[in-house]
């Protein structure tokens, strides 16, 4: 059996809803929005009715600041309502904490808890306004729109994954075909990167899987590899006198540290100060890993 409770902050304590409401009107430009409510929804499976009822005012809500209902509370006529939940496999801190608290109270088995945020939008909103708001509050990387219906079980059915794709013919692709492969797969690496991968797997005498290529692509992306920061700057022209003086000071510190053979790059500029202070013995409590 799945038990459900809806929890909403009382007026004066609903800072999250009011802050988002201002963002949607000011930043997103949805001027027709007159009021926004955020209601936290909890579904619990594996707890008795008595245990669940005792946890509503202790685990799921604070009577001084929250209203709690067993059913979805009434909304203003014409309101638009949608719910957002984490994707399967994503860690839900709110649900996990609630589940742990219930177990501490019962001293028994740990129940399953799922949470969702229900957004109530009031005002004369167009479908485009609602879509824009959904796009703003739902991060597709970690969340999705949730059903508003009651749930009979919280067990999740995970489909059997398909076999990992083996990239047959990858070792024989020409430069033009490799460039097209990058475009078709939406990879972040450039042609030189993919050619290096091709050469490596040729030396291994096997074709890679798409998983291997995507893992390499992720770790070689600008976010993880800091490609931009590591790019060697061979010809630098600075028109601003203050910036030029700072750059000259950077070159002096490089020379003092014996780093003339190292490439000039943004990463070196960003870390040269700490390296210099360390060499002078004035960088205290430094932790290196």
Which residues, at least 6 apart from 80, have a Cβ–Cβ distance to it below 8 Å? 120, 121, 125, 130
Our measurement of the distance from residue 53's CA atom to the centroid of its chain's CA atoms, rounded to an integer in Å, reads: 34
Determine contact, residues 123/83, Cβ cutoff 8 Å.
Answer: no
pTM for the model: 0.63
β-pair type (33-45, 2-9): antiparallel
Determine contact, residues 84/138, Cβ cutoff 8 Å.
Answer: yes
Q: What are phi and psi of 6, to 5 degrees?
A: -110, 130
**Separation of alpha carbons 69 and 3, rounded Å:** 12
What's the pLDDT score for residue 159?
80
Q: Which of 270, 267, 240, 272 is nearest to 256 (CA)?
A: 272
What's the pLDDT score for residue 269?
95
What's the pLDDT score for residue 284?
81
Q: Which of 115, 112, 59, 109 is nearest to 92 (CA)?
A: 115
Which residues, at least 6 apart from 191, have a Cβ–Cβ distance to it below 8 Å? 175, 178, 179, 182
Query: What are the per-10-residue average pLDDT scores of the chain (289 residues)?
Result: 96 96 95 97 96 96 96 96 94 96 96 97 96 96 95 86 94 97 93 96 97 93 76 92 96 95 93 92 82
What's the pLDDT score for residue 263?
93
């Amino acid at each position: 059996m799945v038990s459900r409770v809806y929890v909403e902050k009382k007026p004066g304590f609903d800072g999250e809803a009011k802050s988002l409401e201002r963002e949607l009107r000011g930043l997103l430009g949805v001027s027709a929005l007159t009021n926004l409510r955020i209601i936290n929804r909890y579904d619990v499976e594996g707890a008795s009715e008595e245990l669940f009822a005792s946890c509503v005012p202790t685990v799921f809500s604070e009577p001084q600041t929250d209203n709690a209902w067993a059913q979805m509370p009434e909304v203003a006529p014409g309101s638009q309502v949608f719910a957002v939940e984490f994707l399967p496999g994503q860690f839900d801190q709110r649900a996990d904490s609630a589940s742990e608290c219930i177990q501490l109270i019962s001293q028994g088995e740990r129940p399953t808890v799922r949470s969702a945020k229900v957004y109530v939008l009031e005002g004369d909103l167009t479908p485009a306004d609602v879509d824009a708001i959904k796009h703003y509050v739902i991060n597709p990387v970690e969340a999705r729109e949730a059903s508003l219906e009651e749930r009979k079980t919280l067990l999740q059915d995970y489909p059997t994954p398909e076999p990992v794709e083996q990239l047959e013919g990858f070792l024989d692709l020409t430069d033009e075909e490799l460039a097209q492969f990058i475009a078709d797969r939406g990879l972040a690496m450039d042609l030189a990167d993919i050619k290096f991968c091709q050469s490596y797997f040729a030396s291994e005498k096997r074709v890679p899987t798409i998983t291997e290529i995507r893992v390499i692509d992720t770790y070689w992306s600008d976010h993880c590899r800091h490609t931009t920061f590591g790019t060697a700057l061979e010809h630098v022209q600075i028109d601003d006198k203050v910036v030029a003086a700072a750059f000259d000071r950077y070159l002096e510190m490089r020379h003092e540290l014996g780093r003339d053979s190292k490439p000039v790059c943004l990463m070196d500029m960003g870390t040269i100060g700490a390296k210099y202070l360390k060499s002078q013995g004035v960088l205290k409590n430094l932790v290196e890993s």
